[in-house]
């Protein structure tokens, strides 16, 4: 192929010329056509300036300087490197080397991922298991309003989190997190006294964990048949009573009749669910009623001899302000758990990432370009 002959400006002296010095044939790799490898033989024109004698190549929209692949090929492989499973798979699909794919990925990472200057007013933080060269766990920070990841820290240590929040968190007013004491201490130390919101899933599971421990203890006293059947039917203890079928209600009553402790534990779980519904309904308008109802629930728990629930309530009391904030502000960390699940899939598909920097780029770029397809060629 050949581009139309046009007037070009000399890069040395600025003189306009359309005088051709010579032609050179360049072989360029292009995207597949009909699942066949495609190469373009480009007849590249070289001009000469009559004023200063400078020789230079023509401008074109096909290939960049010093490249052996078309611009469309580079664009497609960069998107595929971001959204594909592995670099090796992308290299095989585009008939190139893994190192080439990694270089293209690093190029787009350098250009698209900018250093965070300041955090927004509402952020969510959580950890994930990265197993990179920087440590076993990394910390991800996301925007609580747009639900997009902002940055990923190399580790979850209190010092790292504190220093990062001090330098970039001047505008932060609300922090959503799980019930981690190091995170809470780091936020308090770095930001002073922002609103901390505990994620609902994380504090609710303490009640269900307590019920699970009681069930395991009590079913060990049952006959072999009832013990195995109770384990298989354990889901009936976690569902709301009004959501159970008649058959599930029968099994529930059967095993509650076999153990008074299990019945009390189930009743405490149901009381917690009632309080949770009340908190969701009145948390924004009548927090005093919600707080008083929570204290009544504490009394119900302490009136029993179930130490498993006593321990759960101790955690609730230590995090009571943050728990009540979750109903007053109606924010949660659910979207961040979804991001972490997707991160686990990336890690599993790639059989792990050794480099923290490359794994960080992969996560941030994936979410930035998740709505852009790479099905080109």
377 inside domain: no
374 inside domain: no
56 inside domain: yes
59 inside domain: yes
Q: Is the pLDDT at 155 greater than 50, yes or no?
A: yes
Q: What percent of the chain has pLDDT over 90?
A: 83
237 and 316: one domain? yes
Residue 318 near residue 198, CB atoms below 8 Å? no
Distance from C-alpha of 19 to C-alpha of 6, rounded to nearest angstrom: 9
DSSP 290-306: HHHHHHHHHHHHHTS--
What does the pLDDT average to over 181-206?
Answer: 94
278 and 304: one domain? yes
Q: Give 373's contacts (C-beta < 8 A, 6+ positions apart).
A: 79
97 and 139: one domain? no
192 inside domain: yes
Determine the longest span between alpha carbons in the chain, in angstroms. Answer: 103
What does the pLDDT average to over 54-67?
Answer: 90
pLDDT at 373: 67
Domain total of the chain:
4
Specify the pTM: 0.83
**Mean of the per-residue pLDDT values of the chain:** 92
55 and 160: one domain? no
pLDDT at 274: 94
* Best CA proximity match to 333, nearest among 169, 190, 204: 204
Q: Is the pLDDT at 215 greater than 70, yes or no?
A: yes
Where does residue 95 rank: exposed (0-12), middle (13-18), buried (19+ CB within 10 A)? exposed
Of the pLDDT bands very low, low, confident and very high (cuts 50, 70, 90), residue 375 is low
244 and 288: one domain? yes
Q: Is the pLDDT at 280 greater than 80, yes or no?
A: yes
Q: Is the pLDDT at 377 greater than 80, yes or no?
A: no
90 and 141: one domain? no
Distance from C-alpha of 248 to C-alpha of 258, rounded to nearest angstrom: 16
pLDDT at 133: 92
**Interval 295-338: pLDDT, tens:** 999 999 999 999 999 999 999 999 999 999 999 998 889 999 99
376 inside domain: no
306 and 230: one domain? yes
342 inside domain: yes
What does the pLDDT average to over 172-177?
Answer: 95
94 and 207: one domain? no
Q: What percent of the chain has pLDDT over 70?
A: 99
**Interval 220-268: pLDDT, tens:** 999 999 999 999 999 999 988 888 999 999 999 999 999 999 999 999 9
209 and 320: one domain? yes
What does the pLDDT average to over 37-46?
Answer: 92
Distance from C-alpha of 186 to C-alpha of 177, rounded to nearest angstrom: 12
189 and 207: one domain? no
Residue 272 in tokens? 């917690």
Of the pLDDT bands very low, low, confident and very high (cuts 50, 70, 90), residue 142 is very high
Distance from C-alpha of 367 to C-alpha of 98, rounded to nearest angstrom: 23
What does the pLDDT average to over 75-103?
Answer: 91
323 and 208: one domain? yes
Of the pLDDT bands very low, low, confident and very high (cuts 50, 70, 90), residue 348 is very high
Residue 299 near residue 293, CB atoms below 8 Å? no
What does the pLDDT average to over 166-189?
Answer: 94
Residue 78 near residue 104, CB atoms below 8 Å? yes
pLDDT at 358: 93
pLDDT at 374: 57
Residue 313 near residue 114, CB atoms below 8 Å? no
Question: Domain range for residue 133?
Answer: 122-198+337-368
Q: Is the pLDDT at 56 greater than 80, yes or no?
A: yes
Which of the listed residues 80, 112, 144 is the one where a domain comes to its end? 112
What does the pLDDT average to over 117-122?
Answer: 94
Beta-carbon neighbour count of residue 122 at 10 Å?
21
148 and 160: one domain? yes
157 inside domain: yes
Which of the listed residues 51, 69, 87 is the one where a domain comes to its end? 69
Q: Give 358's contacts (C-beta < 8 A, 6+ positions apart).
A: 102, 105, 106, 109
Q: Tell me the CATH number at 143.
A: 3.30.420.10
């Amino acid at each position: 192929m050949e581009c139309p002959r046009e007037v070009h400006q000399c890069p040395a002296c600025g003189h306009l010329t359309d005088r051709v010095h010579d032609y050179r044939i360049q072989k360029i790799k292009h995207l597949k056509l009909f699942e066949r490898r495609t190469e373009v033989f480009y007849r590249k024109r070289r001009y000469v300036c009559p004023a200063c004698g400078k020789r230079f190549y023509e401008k074109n929209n096909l290939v960049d300087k010093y490249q052996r692949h078309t611009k469309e090929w580079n664009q497609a492989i960069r998107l595929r490197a971001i959204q594909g499973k592995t670099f090796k798979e992308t290299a095989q699909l585009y008939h190139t080397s893994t190192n080439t794919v990694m270089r293209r990925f690093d190029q787009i990472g350098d250009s698209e991922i900018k250093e965070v200057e300041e955090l927004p007013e509402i952020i969510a933080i959580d950890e994930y298991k990265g197993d990179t060269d920087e440590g076993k766990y990394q910390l991800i920070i996301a925007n609580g309003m747009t639900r997009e990841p902002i940055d990923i820290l190399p580790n979850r240590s209190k010092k790292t989190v504190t220093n990062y929040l001090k330098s970039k968190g001047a505008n932060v007013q609300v922090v959503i997190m799980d019930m981690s004491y190091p995170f809470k201490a780091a936020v308090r130390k770095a930001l002073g006294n922002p609103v901390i919101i505990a994620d609902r899933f994380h504090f609710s599971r303490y009640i269900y964990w307590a019920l699970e421990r009681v069930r395991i203890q009590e079913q060990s006293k049952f006959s072999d048949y009832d013990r195995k059947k109770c384990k298989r039917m354990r889901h009936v203890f976690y569902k709301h009573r009004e959501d159970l079928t008649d058959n599930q209600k029968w099994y529930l009553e059967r095993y509650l009749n076999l153990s008074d402790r299990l019945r009390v534990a189930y009743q405490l779980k149901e009381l917690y669910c009632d309080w949770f519904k009340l908190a969701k309904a009145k948390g924004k308008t009548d927090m005093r009623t919600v707080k008083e109802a929570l204290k009544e629930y504490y009394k119900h728990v302490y009136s029993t001899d179930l130490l498993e629930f006593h321990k759960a309530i101790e955690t609730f009391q230590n995090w009571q302000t943050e728990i009540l904030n979750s109903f007053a502000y109606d924010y949660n960390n659910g979207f961040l758990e979804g991001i972490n699940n997707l991160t686990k899939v990336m890690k599993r598909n790639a059989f792990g990432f050794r480099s923290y920097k490359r794994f960080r780029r992969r996560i941030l770029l994936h979410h930035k370009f998740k709505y852009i397809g790479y099905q080109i060629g």
